[in-house]
Structure 1
Amino acid sequence: MGALTALEKLLPVVLAFGCGVLLARRKVVPADSSKVFADYAFLFAVPCYLFGNIYASDLAALFDWRAIGGYAAAAACAVVAVGIAARLTGVLDPRGVALRIMAGVQVNTAYFAVPVFIMLFGNAAPIFPVLLFQVCVLSLVVISIMELGRPAAGGPGVRLARAVGASLVTPVVLACNAGILLNLLSVHLPKAVLDSFAFVGDSASPVALFALGLHLGGAGLTIRGTTLEELWLIAFKCAAFPFIAWAVCRYLFGVEGEWLSYLVLIAAMPAPQNLFIFAQRYDVDVAMSAELVVKSSLASLLLLPLWVQWTVHFG
């Protein structure tokens, strides 16, 4: 896929995202309504899309364990690197370290990766195993560090169990697990039911991107006020982590072809939108988290065509 082709495929992404920014900036649509659109996408449309597609997928091909193992190893390297960098830059609070790990390693799957993959490849199925790994493993690491550094009532074990339990029963995770279970059990669902899920799921991509655009348009973007810490985190997330994923997956795990491209592009996605939610919940670096979500989204959108070209020439 050439750079021009990649740009053409990303035009719908830019349109939905940019329209949200424009309408919020001109106050045609209130920026505060981005939460309503985001909730619809995250709590309803995206789970419908994930469930229908996982149910109909070939799980043996979808869960390529060598590819998933390579991505997990790359993520582990990135976690260590960000953790050390955070400590060296003077971040002593465990919650602050965990937040930076989340910003540098986790990816925005539901709001960004799913629509981008649909535009580029016509299918977001390769994201599903990474999404489950991110929720069930990476989020567990972040939550564990957050809870251990949180001065709150109750023992660390109780707080950790409560937080992990809450993350595992989100609609996105439940939809993925339900799709896998019904697929493995070969449960037959009527075509009308699957068509209904597909109808709602098709709205997930544009609505999620529109919501992100509304948020950006309302929050504004102050490039001049970007701190050095924000710069290195954005650079790590959008440039270093995809390169680490490419090197580890290709040379240590022998991943090639389409899966290598998928994993590199997934790693190149921006910081997750729930970074801001975690920052609010644990009362740590809230303003910086909002800036990282917005600025890494813009940086990722600009760099994606280059990463597409990289995977073509070096994959």
Structure 2
Amino acid sequence: MLEVLSVVGPIFGLVAIGYLSVRFSLYPAAGVQGLISFVNNFATPCLLFQAMLKIDFAKLFNPHYLASFYFGAFACFAVAFLIARWAFRRRPGESVAVGFSAYFSNTILLGLPIIQRAYGDEALPYLFAIVGFHAPVLMSSGMVAMEIARRDGAPLKSTVKEALSRILSNPLLIGISLGIIANLTSVPVPGLINDVTKMLALAVLPAALFGLGGALNQYQLRDSWEQALVSSLIKLVLHPFIALVLSHYVFGLDWNMTRVAVITAAMPSGLNVYIFATFYNRSVDIAANTVLQSTLLGVVTISSWLLVLSWLAP
């Protein structure tokens, strides 16, 4: 529990600094959107580019292992979307953003240190197998769903065309695509480009968390806490449960793979949930609240899943 708290504590610290800085006029509220745009359009694409360069896709690809994680992710998206659409009466685009908040995991900021501490360095390649597909698969799927959901009565053909155009021009997916291409083709990245992208990638965590804290001043989180709580519980409980059932009881995977799949699925909603919502300006209040609630609740739920897995270990 203390190990988890030592990881989560700095996250809340940065968010709190951003919130208090705007709250007490130490940082201009008008500058928050500019900071978020920097994160969306420059820093995060560089982070994703660097991440894709280091993944050994051929070595770590296991269809059953990946299916255990990603089937659960898409199931959570569908459940959260339907609840937002029919129970909370959200518009289609807003419901997509809510679904996104329930299926995008914090695989690096929390997943990496927790899995490393729990299962050692030998478990990290299994995590990286998921990470390698995480942003490309879930981000692109979310974007396609968003473009279709907000077509406002336009013909499906023109909607798909517009969606593809937006996706191809999206900085986040450009970063992912270039990294994958450089990885698979073994094209050497020029030193200047490599160093610049690494430097920009380092800015994602502090800038995004500070921006998240600053943006919280714009919203009354008490107005959306119920829906954020539902999304958080879907992410923290349903996703790892599905991953456990599929990996262990359906596919009979090696236990080392199973426990990494489950704990990775048990991670709170990742910061890209907030980035995605701000990019499309849909359900930003719910996204921000879900990131905070799921991270806080994750202290309890992640510890519980670690305990469950220790009981089930063969």
Letter in 2 for 1:291: D
- Structure 2 counterparts to residues 74-85 of structure 1, below 5 A: 74-85=72-83
Give how far 1:211 is off. 0.9
Residue in structure 2 matched with residue 283 of structure 1 by the alignment: none
Which moves more between the two structures, 165-174 or 268-277? 268-277
TM-score in terms of structure 1 length = 0.78
User: Whole-Å Cα distance in 2 between the matches of residues 229 and 55 of structure 1?
Assistant: 37
Aligned: 1:131 with 2:135? yes
Deviations along 1:95-124, whole A, 9 cap, x unmatched?
56545434444x3x7xx6554456657999
Q: How does 1:232-251 map to 2 (within 5 A)?
A: 232-251=230-249
Distance 1:233 1:308 in 2: 16
Aligned to 1:262: 264
Q: CA RMSD in A?
A: 3.2
Distance 1:194 1:8 in 2: 31
Residue 71 (structure 1) aligns with: 69
Take 2:269 and 2:94, find their aligned partners in 1: how far apart are those partners? 22
Structure 1 residue 15, shift from structure 2 partner = 2.2
What do residues 148-206 of structure 1 show as CA deviations (whole Å, max 9, x unaligned)? xx135xx2211222123212331221111111111111112344542332222112111
1:10-29 equivalences in 2 (<5 Å): 10-29=8-27
Task: Tell me how far apart the structure 1 counterparts of residues 157 and 69 of structure 2 sit (CA, whole Å).
Answer: 29
For the structure 1 residues 174 and 28, does the alpha-carbon distance in structure 2 shift closer, same or farther, using more than 3 Å as the test?
Answer: same
Contact 1:86 1:100 (C-alpha < 8 Å) held by counterparts: yes
Confirm or deny: 8 A CA contact 1:37 1:211 kept in the other structure: yes
Q: Which residue of 2 aligns with 1:45?
A: 43
| Structure 2 CA distance for partners of 1:62 and 1:43, relative to 1, 3 Å | farther
Aligned residue for 2:150, secondary structure, equals helix
The answer as to whether partners of 1:63 and 1:129 remain within 8 angstroms in 2 is: no
User: How far is 1:242 from its partner?
Assistant: 4.3
Q: Which moved more, 1:43-52 or 1:114-123?
A: 114-123
* 2:51 and 2:132 in contact (8 A); partners too: no
| Matched ranges for 1:151-300 at <5 A | 151-152=153-154, 155-216=155-216, 218-223=217-222, 225-226=223-224, 228-229=226-227, 231-253=229-251, 254=253, 255-265=257-267, 268-269=269-270, 272-273=273-274, 274-278=276-280, 280=281, 289-300=283-294
TM-score normalised per structure 2? 0.78
Whichever residue aligns with residue 260 of structure 2, its letter is: E
Equivalent residue, structure 1, for 2:150: 146
| 8 Å contact kept, 1:135–1:168 | no
Mapped contact 1:19–1:210 kept (Cα < 8 A): yes
Shift of 1:146: 3.3
Q: State the alpha-carbon separation in 2 of the partners of residues 220 and 82 from structure 1.
A: 21
Alignment equivalent of 1:304, drawn from 286, 294, 298: 298
Aligned residues of 2:40 and 2:172 also touching (Cα < 8 A): yes
Shift of residue 86 of structure 1?
4.8
State the 1:300 CA deviation.
Answer: 1.7
Runs (5+) with no aligned partner, structure 1: 281-285
Preserved CA contact (<8 Å) 1:68 1:130:
no
Q: Does the 8 A contact of 1:6 with 1:120 survive in 2?
A: yes
Q: Which amino acid aligns with 1:44?
A: F
How many residue pairs were aligned? 294
Change (3 A) 1:86 1:305: closer
1:132 positional shift: 0.8
**Runs of 4+ with >6 A deviation:** 121-124
